[in-house]
Amino acid sequence: MLCHVESISGYMVESLTSIPYCNENSLRIIRELKMVKHSKKSTLNICAYCGTLSYTTPDHIPPKNLFPKPWKNLISVPACKVCHANTSKDDEYFRLKILMREDVLSNPGARIAWKVALRSLTKTEATGLRKKVVLDLTNVEMRTQSGLYVGTRPGYNVDMNRIRSVLQRIVRGLYFRETGNVLGLNTKVHLYMDDDFIELPSHTRDEIQPVILYLASLPPITIGENIFLYRYHIAKKDSTVSAWGLSFYGKFPFLAMTGPSTPKPV
């Protein structure tokens, strides 16, 4: 109980109130919480992505739709309503585009997930995604290593912005899980895929190569039956600088580095 002392006509009057005065930041948070319609599953917590105090729900990283049931030992982090909004559509897109790769279906879990993904495409609410998948189909030129054209084969286009969005969320969630700290939306997550390495300047590739070799020497953390695997290293001098090696179904590798706009060595 907070006690305020006021002066009325020269007399000291003690007024009691059970509500302390709030600073502006607290008022802002309280107003936001009043606007949130939270479910029974939501709890008051720190959002793993933006760091705000809010009602949160568990966000699985990576998306649980990548794993066949029964789900065991999946990773989830608390996410506020804003950060969790519309992630399910990107998660579905991410799953579908990964599973459309011919090299991942050698994984038994991927084959199960592929059947589930195909069934989900038949649902009424998946009309937009279904049309998108059809429109993304295309023919891809096949060439030898020397550049000789040998024909075409079916392929598909990918919205890499959506893929990167999911990967960045995964890295931020893993960072929260491993450190207990929020990376923060002002800290960049730099992603590198196979095609990215080809386009990088040679000096940048030379800087990144030791990071890849070091991550490869670390024991992997595996979720599911070789469904998702990751390795990581966090710099001692600056904990916002880190490196992450991610792999899906044993065939789809990514390198992520967190830090300022220009990645620093870790």
Burial of 214 (C-beta count, 10 Å sphere; 0-12/13-18/19+) = middle
Alpha helices in the chain (DSSP H): 24-35, 81-84, 87-99, 108-121, 127-136, 160-179, 194-199, 202-217
Q: How far apart are CA 58 and CA 41, in angstroms?
A: 8
Q: Give the pLDDT score at 90.
A: 93
Match 């491993």 to its residue by tokens. 178
**pTM given for the model:** 0.78
Under 8 Å CB-to-CB from 152, ≥6 apart: which residues? 139, 140, 141, 142
Under 8 Å CB-to-CB from 42, ≥6 apart: which residues? 36, 55, 56, 57
Q: Give the pLDDT score at 47.
A: 94
Q: Give the pLDDT score at 206.
A: 86
Q: How far apart are CA 30 and CA 22, in angstroms?
A: 10
Q: Give the pLDDT score at 17.
A: 37
Q: How far apart are CA 241 and CA 235, in angstroms?
A: 6
Q: Give the pLDDT score at 261.
A: 59
Structure tokens belonging to residue 165: 């969005």
Structure tokens belonging to residue 98: 């990964």
Does the N-terminal peptide bond of residue 78 adopt cis geometry, omega within 30 degrees of 0?
A: no
| Blockwise average pLDDT, block size 10, the chain, 266 residues | 36 37 50 49 82 92 92 92 91 92 88 91 86 84 81 85 94 95 90 78 86 94 92 93 94 88 51
In the chain, what are the domain boundaries?
A: 25-259
Do 141 and 105 contact (CB within 8 A), yes or no? no
